Amino acid sequence: MKSFAPLLLALALGAGQASHAIAASSIHHTSAKAAAKSAKAGKAGKTAVKAGKKGKAAKAAPAPRRPAIDYDGEQVNFGEWQAVRGFEDDMVNRNGFERAEVEAVVAKLRFIDSAVQLVKPAPPGKPKNWQAYSERFIEPIRIHAGVRFWNENAAELARAEALYGVPAEIIAGIIGVETIYGRDTGRFRVMDVLATLAFAYPESPNRNDRMQFFRSELEQTMLLARKENIDPFSLLGSFAGAVGMPQFMPSNILKYGVDFDGDGIVDLRNSPADAIGSVANFLIAHGWDRNATGPSVFPADVAPSLAWEPLLGGLEARYAAAELQGAGVVTRTALPDQRNYGLIDLQNGADPTEYWVANANFFAITKYNRSYFYAMSVVELGRAVRLARGI
């Protein structure tokens, strides 16, 4: 990570965590734009008909360009908010920023209501359904994009696997689930969404903790921008502030970003090599066991006695194979000895729940996104891409 102009995004912790509700103001704004476009389209159609009558070829209007930034930003005076003034003091006293510099940054911040709406929990609805969830990620577009990504970056994936012990298919699975191999890295200004969520997070049981998290990420973004000598407002990412192909939060870019292509820059947006190395480095730092070769999950059957129910839950491997077997968990293949495991459930709505036994490497993936569904999607997408490549 050295020149941040090419670097970008956040570990929000990823796919599948946020509801995609849109604020009423955003809907109104979009509807107004759609109506205006419709009116213009009608006029264009009439013009084309007239031109045709005169025997002249009507030239098709070019398709509208997608905007570089996605948000309905509102200019507010963040500098008047007491909590923001405290943040300014911290940046000056703790991090050595000039006050005028910090105040100039705060003056540019915009309030992003759509970010507030998107972090709200999904309303109660259908029960969890692993099969429906997985179909969003294990599908032809991602698989084909994954094959291309792997083919184009085979040397870097092999080098990361050798250096860190993380299989190429797991690295490819994460980047594919997160951004379809860099195709969708987010188009919100990171500073805006982080400031909005740091000081105006919606009401929720964990509101204070989440505000503190985003406040810290706002601080880390400014530190990162200073380190890389870039404009912090040049960073684009997700609605939660994640950046680049692997969707690292700014703090994780500083902690785990790797200059894997050796050009002196950690560039998570434009360098597949840096994204590959950084994902592997993150997993190693979060418990990936390079000695646990082979599958990270094993299909299992559970006994009717339900003695296994207390073993469900959690994000770590805590039980010996014998403990699982004693509680009525039977895997369809033998588990490697001398390792710990966890029991996970993948609910399928009205259909039977799937049960799997997972090792430490599966739970390392859940540190990227705290969801069994997410981690299993990574495993399955990576496997599908590998098989599609014929290996």
Q: What is the pLDDT of residues 137-190, one digit of tens each?
A: 999 999 999 999 999 999 999 999 999 999 999 999 999 999 999 999 999 999
pLDDT band (50, 70, 90) for residue 68: low
Whether residue 91 has pLDDT greater than 80: yes
What percent of the chain has a predicted confidence (pLDDT) above 70?
A: 82
Least confident of 57-61, 96-100, 301-305, 380-384: 57-61
Whether residue 93 has pLDDT greater than 50: yes
Q: Considering 178, 217, 219, 228, which one is annotated as catalytic?
A: 178
178 is catalytic: yes
What is the pTM (predicted TM-score) of this model?
Answer: 0.81
- Structure confidence at residue 124 (pLDDT): 78
Whether residue 331 has pLDDT greater than 60: yes
Whether residue 6 has pLDDT greater than 50: no
pLDDT band (50, 70, 90) for residue 11: very low
- Structure confidence at residue 314 (pLDDT): 93
- Structure confidence at residue 365 (pLDDT): 98
Whether residue 59 has pLDDT greater than 90: no
Whether residue 74 has pLDDT greater than 90: no
Mean pLDDT, the chain, rounded, equals 85
- Structure confidence at residue 296 (pLDDT): 96
Question: Of 97, 101, 343, 86, which is closest to residue 215 (Cα–Cα)?
Answer: 86
Q: Cβ-count burial of 22 within 10 angstroms (0-12 exposed, 13-18 middle, 19+ buried)?
A: middle
Mean pLDDT throughout 1-24?
A: 33
Least confident of 54-68, 206-220, 221-235, 254-268: 54-68
Mean pLDDT throughout 86-114?
A: 97
The model's pLDDT over 345-363, given as tens digits with 9 standing for 90+, comes to: 999 999 999 999 999 999 9
